[in-house]
Structures are given as structure tokens and as C-alpha cells.
Structure 1
């Protein structure tokens, strides 16, 4: 059933750019009030200004439980309720696991998985009170494994499982939980990954339709529609729905085909090993900079304060 979004208070994490920013603007056009959470105050303010006077911004790192709890309290104080939460914040890194930067690899899992857990922990009490909707943004990476993306696949498989578990726990409280799936979509994260020539070529050799980058706006339109229906599954590209029925067969196929591709690209990967391993895209850079600032303030190792 389609739900009217007029006056609904929607919280979006990772709202400074990409999917989060466009989703905020489109939901604002549907009459929603937006609470935008992210790491980049200037970009967040620009998005909020485009969403109208009811939009607000909160600078918080999703991996910082205390900061997320404080943001949730402030959002409740301002709006009086929370109807929808979209756990969208995410980062990525690419390349062979054996060559990966250990801190960057762990950070992907921390932000994507534990950041989503912290988001749910902060906002679920408000969603119980409003009998609201929690949408966890996952990925094609949750449906199929992919070489060179071990951290991202692990984190997105994790958030998918987390959301499925959460759905059953809170259903009797009137809260609906959905999972959103996106393939390669034209965002800063994907463009950042494509700056690596080897990774870009490897992706181009994937079978259709997984080998192309999809425009952002139609993908976000599908997410908006899913929020309006409070859907259990939201597919940003039409063909992702079909992946659900074959996902059990995909790992063995990927292993067979991927072995040949990895052998073929091994010399180039070895020759360019020093060019990859860090977080990709402007969102990844923002997270790294925030971690560095937190480390400088605490004298620690760069982790969240």
C-alpha cells in the first residue's frame, strides 16, 4: 500500500552526496521533512537548502554510537517524531585482499556494517513509537560475491542479514524493515573506483547487465517508490529482483569464471599494486579525513572519537 509522505520525518545517513543527497531532494518534493546526517557540513547544508525550510543537518560519524544517539535525540527534539530512517552511509575500497590496506579494509566493514547497526540502535526506539520504516541500503554485492571487493561484499552481505534479522524482531511492534539493492550506479564512489584502470577493465568484462554503470536518478526514483510502499525489498535496477532466485548458484559461477580472469590480470595487478588499497571516492576521502581529525584530537590511532 502506498503511504503518503507529506509531513513524514525522514532521516538519511550519508546524505551529503550521491544516493543520499538525491533521495533527500526527491523525498522533499513528496512533502517529507528531511533530517540529514553525514560528515561533510558544507555539502549537507547545500542539500538541506535544496530540500526546503523543514530540512536540518547533523554532522555525525555513523560509527560513533554516542554521536548518533545525540543526533537522534536532537532530531526528535526538533521534529517530535521519526517516521523513516534510511541507513545509506557507506564507503568502499577495491583490489586483491592480500594487497589491501588493512586499516582501509577494516574501515569499510566498520562504516557499512557497524555504522548501520549504530544507526538502527539510535533510531529504532523512535520508529517503534511512530510504527515507522527502516530501510537498509545494501547492494548487488550482497546478492553475489565479487573478487577485488571482499570488504564491500562482506559488509553489504552483513547489513542485508542484519536487516532481515531485525525485521522479524520488530514486526510485532509495527515497524517495517526493508533492504535496498543497487547495482553499479553513477555516484562518487563508483566513479572513484573506476579511476583504477585495472579494476575498471575487470568490471567491464562482467556479464551483462552487471557490467554497466546505471544513471542515478532512475535508481533513486525506485528507492523513493519503495519508501512510499514501505517495501521489504527495494530494487534500484529492475533486473536485481531476478538475482534473488539465482543467488545460490552465483558463487560457484563467479569462482569458475573469476579464476581465469584473475590469472589473466595478475601481471597488471602486480605492476600497479601501490596504486590502490585506500578508500575510493569523495565520500571515502571525507571519512578518512574525519578519522584523521578525530585521531589528532584524541592523540589516538585515527579512529572515531
Structure 2
């Protein structure tokens, strides 16, 4: 029996690394993304156990069709990783309704739609859902009114899923990454921003895509069979520091 994972937002970053870790553990993986070109490039060398499916997770009809295609290809579903997300930052007064809706459509609606579509298949396997939140959903920050609120809602949705789906043996957990050393982050984070994050994080560094993916795949594994409804901050201790001042460490 080969287990099957469905990973959204899988053409790059944490999603792609998660797919690779599943594959390395002997799983088959459906990689979902709305960027057809990036998805094709990402899946080109992953082998027969991986397949890409183009889908906008904010589109209900597209999600329903995508899950049906995944089941037709692989025959089962053991884990759903809701990783797809968009980030638009700016001051509250500059966050117009169109921006708000764009962020919520993917980050929140997408998690709801994909989970709802996958539940019948997950009931059959007593599978797992892992939603990707963010440190921004656990602690407020500037310029993130839409993004942070969407991720806070995902955290609560995870608990709703765990409470309702547990009777079917389906587990639901949420991983909240802190700052991660992705190509995008390194391109937009100035030396001053990097230094400030290092000062605020007890482990004094950014995380890696592999470290976040390791937590995700663990939560989908049999080793986490009694873990559900949990919110895990994979953040180097960032959330634990609260308002502690780096200057007071000495």
C-alpha cells in the first residue's frame, strides 16, 4: 500500500520541499499549483510517483474537479497539505477591499474548499490534514492586516476540523512557519530586516524549507497518530519571546 499526499502551492518553496520529502518516504504525491509553467518545471524530475495538477484553490468548481482527478490518478488520499497562499503587505489604510478578498480567497477559502472536497477520501483512509498558517497568525505585526488575519482564521479552522472530523479518524493540525530562508524572502529582506529577525528569534537564524517540511510530513505520518487539533510554530522560538527585548538577554 502506497500512501498518497496532496500538496497545494507545491510548485516552489515549502510546498515543493514537502512533496519531495513525502516522495523520499515512499509516498505518492499530487502537486497542486495555479502556475502551470512553474508546476511543470517542478515535477519534471520527480518521477512516476508524482503528478502535477493545475488548480486555483479559491475556485470551488476547480477544486472539486482537481480532487476527482487526483483520485482518478492515484486511487486514494491519505494526507492533504493546505499550503497554497498569497502574501500582500501594506498599511491598513492602503488595504483596499480587492486586496483583502484576494488574500482571503486563497489563504482561507482555499483551505476550506480543499478540505471539504477531500474529506470523503480522507474518511476512507482515516487520513490527515495539515494546514499551513504563519507566525503572523499567532502574533500581530505591521503591514499584515489581511495576511495575518487570514492565517489566524486558518488556525481556528484547523481546530474546527479536528473537533468535527476526529470521529472519522481524520486528524487536523496547523504548522505556523516563522521567517524562512526562501529565495523570495532573501530577495526582499534587507540586511536590517534580517538582523532584526535574528535578534528576535531565540535560535538566532531563519528556518529552512526542509525544516518546515519535516514538521509537516511528521504530522501526516503514523508517528503522529494521536496528534490532532494542534498548532505548531516552527519558528525558532519567535512566538515564545513575546515582547521580550533582545537587549535584555545579556
**TM-score with structure 1 length normalisation?**
0.71
Q: Which moved more, 1:57-66 or 1:213-222?
A: 213-222
Aligned-partner SS, 1:50: coil
Offset at residue 77 of structure 1 (A): 1.4
Write the deviation string for residues 158-194 of structure 1: whole angstroms up to 9, x where unpaired.
Answer: 0000011110101011101111110011225534653
Q: Hey, what does 2:216 align to over in structure 1? A: 223
Aligned residue in 2 for 1:176: 171
Conservation of the 8 A alpha-carbon contact between 1:134 and 1:176: yes
Distance in 2 separating the partners of 1:235 and 1:51: 29
1:146: which partner in 2?
141
State yes or no: 1:239 paired with 2:234. no
1:193, 1:114 → 2: CA distance? 27
RMSD of Structure 2 on Structure 1 (CA): 2.4
1:209 equivalent to 2:204? Answer: no
Larger radius of gyration: 1
Structure 1 match to 2:248: none
Matched, 1:47 2:42: yes
Cα distance, 1:12 vs structure 2: 0.3
For structure 1, list consecutive stretches of 5 or more residues without a partner in the other structure.
1-5, 258-305
Q: CA deviation at 1:110?
A: 1.6
Q: Does the C-alpha gap of structure 1 residues 113 and 205 become closer, same or farther in structure 2, counting only changes over 3 Å?
A: same
After superposition, where does 1:1-305 map in structure 2 within 5 Å?
Answer: 7-191=2-186, 193-194=188-189, 201=192, 204-205=195-196, 207-209=199-201, 212-228=205-221, 229-230=223-224, 231-232=227-228, 233=230, 234-239=232-237, 243=240, 250=242, 253=243
Gaps of 5+ in 2: 246-250
Which 10-residue stretch deviates more, 180-189 or 79-88? 180-189
In the comparison of the two structures, how many residue pairs are matched?
238
